[in-house]
Amino acid sequence: MGNKLRRVIISGGGTGGHIFPAISIAHALKKLVPGIDILFVGAKGKMEMDKVPAAGYRIIGLNIQGINRSSIIKNLLLPFKLFQSVRAARRILKEFKPDVVVGVGGYASGPVLHAAGKLGIPYLIQEQNSFAGITNKKLGAKADKVCVAFDGMERFFPKEKLLVSGNPIRHDAVDIAGKEFEAKELFGLDKSKKTILVTGGSLGARTLNNSMLSGLKHLKDAGIQLIWQCGNYYYEELKALIEKEDNYHVWLKPFLHRMDFAYAAADLIIARAGAGTIAELCAVGKPVILVPSPNVAEDHQTKNALALVEKDAAQLVIDGEAVEHLINDIVLLLQDKTKCKRLSENIKKLAKLDADEVIANEVLKLAGKT
């Protein structure tokens, strides 16, 4: 194929769980082929329209939406928007002329991969979850390669197309070696006490916040400190409630810009079970209690969490039982050093640190450059 400049389209987004892996793949492609031309295609009004340009890449937005489960009227425009998006995706592909297309899931991924299939452009799907979404399942039959993060995905995709690559991670976020002392200084923590990190993702999680709020006294009595990432939406309300109490053992923030320090300071991590979060937790290798969000398609977070629980690599608390049981489970687990060590060792075994590079190499193979 000579030294022809490679052109790649990466499509998808909607949440950080789709966007951060997409950006990691783009970075890996640029590292392997510095002159590569990468274009992102996302959904108008979604967070990728800000995050992708901030990472240094061009993005075009499609006028696409998902099914609105709370309003039938809003779904009336869906077929029209879908048809319009497929036409727009087809036009983008014809103008940009990519050698290969990558779909990471999310609204924009479907129309772009569908159009690529019709135009005979090879495409790769990166499925982050242990339970494949509807769009990816449909498009998987015609995909040239499907990169997955969990075993047993031949339930959803042709076995010969599968590659267990793992999920791409933010390497700066999981680089925690030798940072514990500095991290505890930064957060103003007592170095003699146990520390838990609670993170509900970039948007926060109401269940985790309510669980922490109801158990602050219990944690304090047990001598446990808390780094609490609560989300922008909940921050002011929680800050006001916490200030009424003597809560010097709580470090509350709407968003954590230095996840490496938060992970480094923690003895135990409480989190949702999004695929991107799990990939980072495996790399960090600390004991984890997962509280899967029930508000996601096909309940895939519970399935993600169970994939770890079955390997004795995490504990699971059901969302509906978290307010009642989570704090107690935290205290009991921190008291059980043997179990903490076992969970930590087992989750670390599941880490795949080079997923971004493995996927990038597959993309380049499809583009005709090995």
- At 91 the pLDDT is 97
- At 1 the pLDDT is 41
| Cβ neighbours, 10 Å, residue 251 | 20
DSSP label of 320: G
Alpha-carbon distances of 306 from 17, 32, 217, 318, 339, rounded to whole Å: 18, 35, 30, 11, 18
Both structure tokens of 64: 């696409």
Taking the C-alpha atoms of 133, 137, 139 and 141 in order, what is their torsion angle to the nearest 10 degrees? 160
Burial of 96 (0-12, 13-18, 19+ CB in 10 A): middle
Q: Where are the domains of the chain?
A: 7-169+353-366, 172-349
**Sequence-ordered alpha helix ranges (H) in the chain:** 16-32, 48-54, 72-75, 78-96, 109-118, 134-140, 171-174, 180-187, 206-214, 216-221, 232-243, 259-265, 275-284, 300-309, 322-335, 337-349, 355-366
Report how far residue 68's alpha carbon sits from residue 77's, in angstroms, rounded to the nearest whole number.
Answer: 11
Percent of the chain with pLDDT over 90: 72
Query: Which of the following CATH numbers is that of domain 7-169+353-366: 3.40.50.2000, 2.30.30.100, 3.40.50.1820, 3.40.1400.10?
Result: 3.40.50.2000
pLDDT at 370 over 50: no
Q: Are 22 and 359 in contact (CB under 8 A)?
A: no
Rounded to 5 degrees, φ, ψ at 296 are: -130, 155
Name the band, by pLDDT with cuts 50, 70 and 90, for residue 36. Answer: very high
pLDDT at 239 over 60: yes
Q: Are 330 and 289 in contact (CB under 8 A)?
A: yes
Mean pLDDT of the chain: 90
**What's at 121, amino acid-wise?**
I
pLDDT in tens, 92-108: 999 999 999 999 988 88
Name the band, by pLDDT with cuts 50, 70 and 90, for residue 216. Answer: very high
Name the band, by pLDDT with cuts 50, 70 and 90, for residue 325. Answer: very high
- At 200 the pLDDT is 85
Write out the DSSP string of 146-202.
EEESSTTGGGTS-GGGEEE------HHHH--TT-HHHHHHHHT--TTSEEEEEE--T
Report how far residue 66's alpha carbon sits from residue 189's, in angstroms, rounded to the nearest whole number.
Answer: 43
Beta-carbon contacts of residue 313 (< 8 Å; ≥ 6 apart):
282, 288, 343, 346, 347, 349, 350
Predicted TM-score (pTM) of the model is 0.85
- At 75 the pLDDT is 62
The CATH T-level fold of domain 172-349 is: Rossmann fold (3.40.50)
15's enclosing H/E stretch is none
